[in-house]
């Protein structure tokens, strides 16, 4: 597996580190405490807000306490839709926890505020250095605007194609070996008179990122930027996106124009859709709605013959600069990423562990979708492209700026080439600003 990382230069990163130190300084201690008897109290915040997962996390933290005499851990589950806001508030008030989980999209703003501890030395001396997927570690290092390791990924996922295995069997379709085969299958399994559609496009909230995942997988382009120029408006990208857009309202429901995640997955689980593009996170939904009637496959090889994956933002563990107990906080992160615990966390989430020693665990082999993702990630013919999360403007460009324009593309009001040109221009401006800083 190779990891593509473009647009960063050592000189720029060195300047950013120095500038960050001058501009932000260090936050005062706001983490755990030590009582009169010397017992260390840590705080751990979970950003996912999943009530079903909280009980398992509490048990894991209790086991950590049992193995680390004199250390207690207070647990708080944050609502997922307000986790970023609550942690930002804690940063501004010097009241951060010692450790938390975060989404990869949180990393750049937290680093820019000087809120996160540098983990480079801890990681270099840890057994985790030889256990964690090196490509994913390098990915989160590169996602930080200073190019320093401030976080470690604990779960891996990638966009895949969920499909109705029973419909495929009825139609005599064995697999989707090529992109041409994908489009042929989508057309073949569409029957509007029966309310059946070959595919569903995410046209509403969250639409542009999965579109780009498809486009990179289709074209085989392995860089987000080349010499400061975005590749998203490459002619091959225009061709790929046009082919995708042409499916709308022909082999997809008309409602896709406004559909975000929940309606899109809901259509598939209701039995109306043959193929839906999403990540491993929707596995539980499909298991409940379509037991025995669905399966997963990775994207077909690209036009170059290589498998190219534009990675999802990774879920990560971080230690906050304000902790009074950095060594104990690191021990907690190290424990959470140990093979056995990382396996338990990911089994709970139906995701792929980042500790490679955990990827041979029996539960992964029993889940077809996870086995497919694991096999792809271990392939020598895989290139992973990381989105430029280090750009402060990236999220707003992808979501606030370009999602409404993509809806206009689906409605036939804006040309695909113009849409991708606008996207490229905004990304290039952000990249140029990053380089100048």
Kindly state whether residue 383 falls inside one of the protein's structural domains: no
For residues 201 and 344, membership in a common domain is answered with no
Buried b (16+ CB within 10 A) or exposed e, 46-74: bbbeeeeeeeebeebbeebeeebeebbbe
Whether the Cβ atoms of residue 186 and residue 347 lie closer than 8 Å to each other: no
Predicted pLDDT at 101: 98
**What pLDDT, on the 0 to 100 scale, is given for residue 78?**
96
Q: Six-digit token pair at 419?
A: 């849409």
Q: What distances in angstroms separate CA 83 from CA 54, 196, 333, 357, 388, one per listed residue?
A: 15, 38, 19, 30, 22
Report yes or no: 297 and 175 within 8 Å, Cβ to Cβ. Answer: yes
Confirm whether 102 is domain-assigned: yes
Residue 26's pLDDT is 36
Q: Which CATH number do you get for residue 46?
A: 3.40.190.10
Q: For residues 203 and 331, state if they share a domain.
A: no
Pair 165, 305 in one domain: yes
Tens digit of each residue's pLDDT, the chain (437 residues): 544 444 333 333 343 333 343 333 333 334 666 655 679 999 999 999 888 899 999 999 999 999 999 999 999 999 988 999 999 999 999 999 999 999 998 999 999 999 999 999 999 999 999 999 998 999 899 999 999 999 999 998 778 999 999 999 999 999 999 999 999 999 999 999 999 999 999 999 999 999 999 999 999 999 999 999 999 999 999 999 999 999 999 999 999 999 999 999 999 999 999 999 998 888 989 999 999 999 999 999 999 999 999 988 899 999 999 999 999 999 999 999 999 999 999 999 888 999 999 999 999 989 898 888 888 877 888 888 989 999 989 989 999 999 999 999 999 999 999 999 999 999 999 999 999 98
- Residues 204, 350, single domain; the answer is no
Kindly tell me the burial class for residue 377, based on how many C-beta atoms sit within 10 Å of its own C-beta (0-12, 13-18, 19 or more): buried
Distance CA 167, CA 186 (A): 11
Domain span at residue 268 reads 160-310+391-436
Q: In terms of Cα–Cα distance, which of 100, 142, 106 is closest to 16?
A: 142
Who's near 91: CB < 8 A, 6+ residues apart? 27, 110, 113, 115, 320
Angle at 415 between CA 243 and CA 159, to 5 degrees: 45
Residues belonging to the chain: 437
User: Both 138 and 196 in a single domain?
Assistant: no
Give the pLDDT of residue 37: 65
Based on the fold, state whether residues 111 and 38 are members of the same structural domain.
yes
Same domain, residue pair 109 and 169: no
Is residue 2 a part of any domain in this protein? Answer: no
385 found inside a domain: no
Considering the domain architecture, whether residues 419 and 287 belong to the same structural domain is answered as yes
pTM, to two decimals: 0.82
Same domain, 345 and 296: no
In a domain, 253, yes or no: yes
Let me know whether 124 and 170 are in one domain: no
Give, in order, the Cα–Cα distances in Å from 283 to each of 17, 45, 348, 354: 40, 25, 12, 18
Residue 332, H or E segment: helix 326-336
The total of structural domains in the chain comes to 2
Do the domain assignments include residue 353?
yes
Alpha-carbon distance values, 341 to 264, 279, 378 (Å): 33, 22, 21
Quote the tokens at residue 333: 């992160």
pLDDT for position 21: 37
Residue 129, in any domain of the structure: yes
222's CB contacts (< 8 A; 6+ apart) are 2, 4, 216, 306, 308, 383, 385
For residues 294 and 431, state if they share a domain: yes
Could you tell me if 427 and 359 lie in one domain? no
Q: Is residue 396 domain-resident?
A: yes
């Amino acid at each position: 597996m190779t990891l593509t990382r473009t647009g960063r230069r050592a000189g720029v990163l060195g300047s950013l580190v120095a500038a960050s130190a001058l501009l932000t300084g260090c936050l005062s201690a706001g983490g755990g405490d030590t009582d009169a008897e010397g017992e260390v109290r840590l705080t751990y915040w979970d950003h996912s807000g999943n009530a079903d997962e909280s009980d398992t996390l509490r048990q894991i933290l209790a086991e950590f306490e049992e193995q680390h005499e004199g250390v207690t851990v207070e647990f708080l589950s944050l609502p997922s839709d307000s986790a970023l806001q609550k942690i930002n508030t804690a940063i501004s008030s010097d009241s951060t926890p010692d450790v938390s989980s975060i989404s990869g999209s949180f990393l750049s703003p937290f680093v820019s505020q000087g809120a996160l501890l540098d983990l480079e030395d801890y990681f270099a001396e840890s057994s985790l250095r030889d256990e964690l997927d090196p490509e994913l570690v390098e990915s989160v290092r590169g996602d930080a605007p200073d190019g320093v390791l401030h976080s470690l990924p604990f779960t891996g996922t990638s966009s895949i194609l969920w499909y109705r295995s029973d419909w495929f069997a009825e139609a005599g379709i064995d697999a989707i070996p090529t992109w041409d085969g994908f489009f042929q299958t989508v057309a073949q399994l569409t029957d509007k008179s029966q309310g059946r559609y070959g595919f569903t496009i995410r046209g509403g909230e969250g639409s542009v990122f999965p579109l780009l995942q498809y486009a990179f997988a289709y074209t085989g382009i392995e860089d987000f930027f080349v010499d400061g120029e975005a590749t998203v408006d490459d002619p091959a990208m225009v061709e790929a996106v046009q082919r995708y857009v042409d499916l709308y309202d022909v082999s997809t429901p008309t409602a896709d124009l406004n559909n975000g995640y929940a309606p899109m997955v809901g259509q598939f689980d209701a039995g109306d859709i043959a193929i839906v593009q999403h990540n491993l996170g929707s596995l539980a939904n499909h298991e409940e709605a379509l037991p025995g009637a669905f399966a997963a496959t990775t994207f077909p090889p690209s036009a170059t013959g290589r498998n190219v994956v534009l990675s999802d933002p990774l879920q990560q563990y971080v230690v906050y600069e304000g902790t009074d107990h950095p060594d104990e906080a690191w021990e907690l992160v190290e424990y959470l990423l140990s093979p056995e615990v990382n396996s338990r966390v990911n089994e709970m989430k139906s995701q792929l562990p980042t500790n490679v020693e955990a990827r041979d665990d029996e539960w992964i082999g029993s889940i077809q979708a996870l086995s497919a993702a694991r096999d792809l990630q271990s392939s020598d013919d895989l290139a992973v492209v990381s989105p430029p999360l280090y750009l402060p403007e990236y999220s707003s460009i992808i979501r606030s700026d370009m999602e409404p324009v993509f809806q206009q593309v689906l409605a036939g009001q804006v040309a695909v080439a113009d849409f991708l040109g606008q996207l490229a221009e905004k990304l290039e401006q952000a990249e140029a600003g990053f380089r100048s800083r």
